[in-house]
Amino acid sequence: MPWTVDDLDTPAVLIDLDRVEANLGRAQAYADAHGLRLRPHIKTHKLPELARLQVELGAVGITCQKIGEAEVMADAGLDDILLTFNLIGRAKLTRLVALARRVRLGVAIDNEIVARGLSDAMAGVGLELPVLVECDTGAERCGVQSAEEATALARIVAALPGLRFDGLMTYPPKHRTLQVNAWLSEAKAAVEAAGIECRTVSNGGTPDLYSAHQVAVATEHRPGTYIYSDRSLVAGGFGTFEDCALRVLTTVVSRPTDGRAILDAGSKTFSSDTLGLPDYGYFVEYPQLVLEKFSEEHGHVDCSASNARPAVGERVTVIPNHACVVSNLFDTVYGVRGDRVERAFKVAARGLVQ
Amino acid sequence: MPWTVDDLDTPAVLIDLDRVEANLGRAQAYADAHGLRLRPHIKTHKLPELARLQVELGAVGITCQKIGEAEVMADAGLDDILLTFNLIGRAKLTRLVALARRVRLGVAIDNEIVARGLSDAMAGVGLELPVLVECDTGAERCGVQSAEEATALARIVAALPGLRFDGLMTYPPKHRTLQVNAWLSEAKAAVEAAGIECRTVSNGGTPDLYSAHQVAVATEHRPGTYIYSDRSLVAGGFGTFEDCALRVLTTVVSRPTDGRAILDAGSKTFSSDTLGLPDYGYFVEYPQLVLEKFSEEHGHVDCSASNARPAVGERVTVIPNHACVVSNLFDTVYGVRGDRVERAFKVAARGLVQ
């Protein structure tokens, strides 16, 4: 007897593998058509199995944010990893050196203190760590603020033992591809005018994945959420609900009033991320239901706009606003095709905060 | 050489054990003075060690929301557990029966479908499962809507094999103790007028813990967050930052501009819960810093209101808006006294969604 979705207890995270393969195939075909390398960010799935699939389909390597994620991926055979985070402190740097000895590892930095820490850690190792300088092209998170700052930091990196300046990296603002291209082009030209080779320009993000070619200076792109998509991406014009591969199976446990239903899944399942939407998820079977708020273990559903309303005990499927954070809340997710459960995945890179 | 907070990598969750003991002692003294039983909700800490401490200090038992949490606590020797959640489905009910065979177990329900499922599962087990009827006293989550509905459900429970009606339970609205007392008093009287004994009336929540005696009809109280407190409780008038036992140690990894600092901890560490506050946490060392937003792995700090500003590499301590959700995001937390790390705790009941 096949194992089906009906056999799973709730709440459960379903990963539709047909949709995953379609999403990855489409992105790789786009990247290939534009001569762009893909280096997917594993934050969305946190699964070595899907990271391997991304590489099998043509990705040049992967992106991680934490040393612990990179260690898990290296253990699973991923051998080309970019760490896009300023790494500080003896514990992390010791692990970084160990990792650099066994995989092709690169890092991104945005300041001299981090550069000097990396150099001190790499001293005497006999390897040169490739370093990208992170650029704030408008997202206002990390990153140097100008082409001049990028050049100054590139000079420092190029002069430090144990490091090799490899290029520029950005986490871009949404829907400003031309601005991002102008910023990075100017910075690359400034670095090269200083006599420093700039081999890699790494751009990122799913919202502009299919206009990534407009950032013509970029040599690689680091999309994350494209593998699963989610409601916030659909709301932003990226594909449709049909593309959403991560779905949460829940049970209606209470119908205290005609207008209210309560799910067995709250912020401990979905997180509290809205990503700017007025509510928390899309009900596949009941599009008019509104997932209006969460307690930690309860989802509060406003049924008032829907003629069709689920009964106590009924299972309903929710596409969350933000898929990545759901992956981090589950130890196990289930790979499905249609109603058939193909396999359980241990979320091996979940919860790795360091 | 003692193990100190400086030896921990970041981000790390610190649990100040002196503060924990003070918070628990104060609450137990209050409950004892008012003849109220405490049945703490373990959702805040998810640690068997602290659940045992709560019982050692006088709690009559514990409250869990998920079967998985109750199983972990039973494994650790906790033997009086209330499950305040409508349990549905063969998988959960099979586990419920196994648990009822080894600990004193009670459950709360708010509808007949759940009652009949529990009864079917308990049939032939040779035990009577104590059942509380959950009442919606104004929080608008689960619960029957009136004294009449409470009585009707109490009758059903009392008549079903394998179940024993034990009383009423509510998760109350904040700061409406008199309304809650009136609601529960009326319901209790109605149930008793139907000839059904109502031994337990279980109230909950930390915000009104120290006015719980105003809900005079209640026989027990189920506070959760009181053990750690958090910024949202302090903002609501519950104690001070000095009482906040859970703190997050983070490192400043970037200072891209004069006004901006970036932490190595974002929503994957803190969750996105604001609990109604305009930002995400309180900086112990820099009270004027504003934790204005999160990426998953980055905390965005607005330094503009603060003359004192942390440097790259500096460690800062944050009291989160909501402590409970932080516990669920870490596999390990550290019990500290001052700067000394007394022990590491595995968060054994973390991530148990079913």
Find out whether A84 and A222 touch, Cβ atoms under 8 Å.
yes
Among residues B227, B242, B271, which one ends one of the domains? B227
What is the DSSP code (8-state) at residue B312? Answer: T
Same domain for A187 and A241, yes or no, is no
| Cβ pair B170, B134 in contact under 8 A | yes
Q: Which helix (H) or strand (E) is A300 found in, with range?
A: strand A299-302
End-of-domain residue from the set B174, B205, B227? B227
In order, the DSSP letters of A143-210 are: SBSSHHHHHHHHHHHHHSTTEEEEEEE--PPTT-HHHHHHHHHHHHHHHHHTT----EEEEE-STTGG
Q: Are residues A121 and A140 in the same domain?
A: yes
Question: Do B218 and B298 sit in the same domain of this protein?
Answer: no
- On chain A, the residues whose CB falls within 8 A of the CB of B271 are 267, 271-272
Q: What are the residue ranges in chain B where pLDDT is below 50?
A: none
pLDDT for B148 equals 98
d(CA A152, CA A163): 15
Residue A88: partners with Cβ closer than 8 Å, 6 or more residues away: A113, A114, A117, B251, B253, B264, B312, B313
Alpha helices in chain B (DSSP H): 17-33, 48-56, 67-75, 90-100, 112-122, 147-159, 177-193, 231-235, 267-270, 323-327
Both B122 and B262 in a single domain? no
- Does residue B203 sit in the same domain as residue B240? no
Predicted local distance difference test score (pLDDT) of residue B203: 98
The answer to whether A132 and A114 are in contact (CB under 8 A) is no
Model confidence, pTM:
0.97
Per-residue tens of pLDDT for chain A, all 354 residues: 569 999 999 999 999 999 999 999 999 999 999 999 999 999 999 999 999 999 999 999 999 999 999 999 999 999 999 999 999 999 999 999 999 999 999 999 999 999 999 999 999 999 999 999 999 999 999 999 999 999 999 999 999 999 999 999 999 999 999 999 999 999 999 999 999 999 999 999 999 999 999 999 999 999 999 999 999 999 999 999 999 999 999 999 999 999 999 999 999 999 999 999 999 999 999 999 999 999 999 999 999 999 999 999 999 999 999 999 999 999 999 999 999 999 999 999 999 999
Looking at the structure, tell me whether residues A69 and A183 fall in a common domain. yes
| B127, B241: one domain | no
- Residue A332 domain-assigned? no
Interface of B with A in 191-250 (CB under 8 A): none
DSSP state of B53: H
Interface test with B, best of A268, A280, A291, A354 (most B CBs within 10 A): A268
Which residue shows structure tokens 């390897």? Answer: A127
Question: What CATH number is attached to the domain comprising B198?
Answer: 3.20.20.10
Q: Are A246 and A275 in the same domain? A: yes
Where does residue B33 rank: exposed (0-12), middle (13-18), buried (19+ CB within 10 A)? Answer: exposed
Q: Is residue A326 situated within a structural domain?
A: no
Round to the nearest angstrom and report the end-to-end CA distance of chain B.
42
Q: Please say whether the dihedral angle defined by the alpha carbons of residues A256, A258, A263 and A267, taken in this order, is positive or negative.
A: negative
Residue B345 domain flag: no
Element (DSSP H or E) covering residue B261: strand B260-263
**Confidence (pLDDT) at A83:** 98
* pLDDT for position B1: 58
Q: Which residues pair with B301 in a beta bridge?
A: B261, B291
Q: Is residue B87 part of a domain?
A: yes
Query: How far apart are the C-alpha atoms of B197 and B195, rounded to whole Å?
Result: 7
> What six digits make up the tokens of B353?
């969604």
Q: How far apart are CA A253 and CA B206, in angstroms?
A: 25
Residues A103, A127, single domain; the answer is yes
- In a domain, residue B214? The reply is yes
Expressed as residue numbers, the domain containing B246 is: 232-321
- Provide the ipTM: 0.97
| B329 and chain A in contact, CB less than 8 A | yes
Largest CA distance in chain B: 71
Domain endpoint, select from B207, B227, B247:
B227
Phi/psi at A145 (nearest 5 deg)?
-100, -5
Would residue A343 count as lying in a domain?
Answer: no
| CATH number, position B265 | 2.40.37.20
Residues of A in contact with B66 (CB under 8 A): 297
The answer to whether position B9 is within a domain reads: no
A183 and A293 part of one domain: no
**Of the candidates A113, A272, A297, which has its C-beta nearest B65's C-beta?**
A297
pLDDT for position A279: 97
- CA of A159 vs chain B CAs: smallest distance (Å): 21
Binary contact (B110, A254; C-beta < 8 A): yes
Q: Is B209 left (phi over 0), alpha (psi -120 to 50) or beta?
A: alpha
Which among B88, B330, B351 has the least Cβ separation from residue A313? B88
Same domain, B76 and B34: yes
Give dist(CA A136, CA A150) in Å, integer: 10
Note whether A222 and A237 are same-domain residues: no
Dist. CA B260–CA A113, nearest whole Å: 16
Domain tally for chain B?
A: 2
Pairing of strands B62-64, B37-38: unpaired
A295 touches chain B (CB under 8 A): yes
Instruction: Specify if A4 maps to a domain.
Output: no
The amino acid sitting at B225 is T
Interface contact flag, B89 A271, Cβ < 8 Å: no
